[in-house]
Structures are given as structure tokens and as C-alpha cells.
Amino acid sequence: MPEAPLAEIRSLPSWLLGRAAARGRALVAEALAGHGLKMWHHVVLSAVRDLAPVAQADLGRGVGLDPKDLVGVLNDLQAGGLVLREPDPRDRRKNAVSLTAEGAHLLERCERAAREANDTLLEPLSAAERDRFMELLARISGTRE
């Protein structure tokens, strides 16, 4: 009996991690879409909550988003009444971004939806396996705290 196609590729940890990541992104994207957000909207809202008031340039560097792309995301979020861009109190030449109350409420709902999507992703694992899996992912991704 012949081997399954791409058996060598499918045995690589990088391939398996990529497939798991793609599935996780799809689950989270679907959950966020139910609240009218895309992934980058969620990332930026979360960063604004954690850093606000934050200079727009610092926000872009903090989330690793190109300045032109960040402007588009912020335009969407501001049009939805989720963030405010105002002159930075520390440097009036810059814009500072902060969450509105509506943005904070939506972020809470989206964080809950993202956690539920991740629970779905990890559903095949026991609680102990999930803890170990997360520990191992942090180690190989270089983000272990």
C-alpha cells in the first residue's frame, strides 16, 4: 500500500504547527466576525486598552503593523465609535489613541469569543495536556515568561 501523499512534509513539526495555527486563526476570525471585527481590529483594540493613551506610531510598532495599515484599522475603529484619536497630551504634534466605552465593551465580548474559539481548538486535549501544550508552545516560540 502506498504512503499517504506528503507523508514526509506532514511529519514535520513546522507543518503541524502551521495547520494548527491556521485552524486557530480561522476559529477566532469566525468568532470575531460575529461581533463585526477582523483579527487586526481585535489586536489593535486590545493594545489600545493596555497602552492608552498611546501615540499612534507607538501603537503601530507595539503590534507590528505597518503605519499605512494601522491608519486603515484605526479609521474603521473610529468610524465604529470604538476608539478616539486626539492630540497626545505629552506631544501635541502626535495623535494619541484611546478606547471609548463602546470599544471597551466590544473588546470584552470579543475576548470572550476568542477564548471560546481557543477552547474549541484545544478541545481534544485534557486540562493537563492543554497546560503542557501551552508551556511547550511558549518555549518553542521564545515567549516563555
pLDDT tens by residue, 72-125: 999 999 999 999 999 887 788 888 999 999 999 999 999 999 999 999 999 999
In a domain, 30, yes or no: no
Distance CA 25, CA 16 (A): 14
| Alpha helical stretches, state H, 1-145 | 7-10, 13-33, 39-51, 56-63, 67-79, 101-121, 127-141
Does residue 16 form part of some domain? no
User: Phi and psi at residue 4, in whole multiples of 5°?
Assistant: -65, 145
The range of the structural domain enclosing residue 62 comes to 37-141
Angle, vertex CA 18, rays to CA 16 and CA 21, nearest 5: 110
Give the predicted TM-score (pTM) of the model. 0.85
- Alpha-carbon gap, residue 3 to 79, rounded angstroms: 53
Q: How many domains does the chain have?
A: 1
